[in-house]
Amino acid sequence: MCDLRCAQIEQTLFQRFAPLIHLSGAGEQRLSQSKKCFARCMLYDMKLERLQFKKSFRVIRGNRRAQAAEMVITPGNSEGDSRNRHRGADQWLYVVAGRGDAVVKSRRYKLVPGTLIFIGSGERHEIKATGRSALRTLNFYAPPAYSLSGDPLPRGRR
């Protein structure tokens, strides 16, 4: 019964999502060889993490190539300063809630829910919460910029 149910789920996922994904080379060959390959990647290899946004900074999950972290900045406060930079990692910052300003390379950007900003490796930046509620962001670093405890990694470390 379980195998039948899994096969039905795999088939449904493949039918719905395969047309939306454009693969080339080895990825295309693997997908054409087995419909289950696609569904297994979607069902079994994904690691789920519930976002909490309770601590000021928390590394959520990562691997050798990238990591995700959540950040909460209370109103009137900031993270980093004009000297802050990630020497070995690019950062993508997505605003989930709240309002703020990002100062990147001395240029100011308004942050509102739904904003996505890219901060290149080595770019000096500061993130400020300017609204009435906390600024909550989801951040991605490639390669990882922090240890699991939240301490900055030395340049080039993974």
For the chain, which residues make up each domain, given as ranges? Answer: 2-43, 57-142
Amino acid at residue number 50 = R
Banded pLDDT at 16 (limits 50, 70, 90): low
Mean pLDDT of 44-56: 78
Between CA 138 and CA 142 the distance in angstroms is: 14
- In CATH, the architecture of 57-142 is Sandwich (2.60)
Main-chain phi, psi angles of 6, to 5 degrees: -60, -40
Q: What's the whole-model pTM score? A: 0.69
Is the C-alpha dihedral spanning 89, 105, 83, 130 positive or negative? negative
Mean of all residue pLDDT scores within the chain: 79
Residue range 48-71: average pLDDT?
91
Per DSSP, the three-state class of 141 is strand
pLDDT band at residue 111 using 50, 70 and 90 as cut-offs: very high
Q: What is the mean pLDDT of residues 91-104?
A: 97
For residue 14, give the H/E element and its range.
helix 2-17
DSSP reduced 3-state for 91: strand
The pLDDT assigned to 4 comes to 53
Residue 138: count other Cβ atoms within 10 Å of its Cβ.
17
What's the rounded mean pLDDT across residues 113-122? 96
Q: What is the DSSP-derived secondary structure letter of residue 154?
A: P
Q: What is the per-residue pLDDT for 154? A: 82
Do residues 145 and 152 touch, judged by C-beta distance below 8 A? yes
